[in-house]
Amino acid sequence: MPVILWHRAMAIIAADFRLDFDYLVTGWTAYALIVVGLLFFLPVVISIGRRPDSRLYPRSRGALVGWGASMYTLGIMLAAQVAVIAEAPVAP
């Protein structure tokens, strides 16, 4: 869904690509947070329907859900701000 919502902002950021720390941190942090949040959800999704004594059941399932929700929410909020800034007209 983030790719659908912010494909224009991603294209604008990618068009100005350079190997600069400030560029990488400010331009792609939001999307990295979204990916990290989804990765935290992965063990939880795999463990759906499994018994708590199963080998694939994470012992810290609640913490993984909390971290996943936090990272994903922060990424979504930051991506929305980046999209607004990327769409703003550039001053001459």
**What are the residue boundaries of the structural domains of the chain, listed by start?**
2-87
Q: Tokens 């659908």 — which residue?
A: 4
Nearest residue to 9 via CA among 33, 36, 28, 34: 28
CB 89 within 8 A of CB 15: no
What pLDDT score was predicted for residue 61? Answer: 86
What are 46-60's pLDDT values in tens digits?
A: 888 888 888 878 888
Name the pLDDT band for 71 (thresholds 50, 70, 90). Answer: very high
Q: Is the pTM of this model over 0.85?
A: no
Q: Could you give the CA distance from residue 78 to residue 72 in angstroms, rounded to a whole number?
A: 10
Identify the band that residue 72 occupies on the pLDDT scale cut at 50, 70 and 90: very high
Structural tokens at position 72: 């994903």
d(CA 24, CA 52): 40
The pLDDT tens digits of the residues spanning 3-50 come to 677 777 777 777 777 777 777 777 778 888 999 999 999 998 888 888
Say which residues have a Cβ less than 8 Å from residue 70's Cβ, sequence separation at least 6. 37
CA 57 to centroid of chain Cα atoms: 24
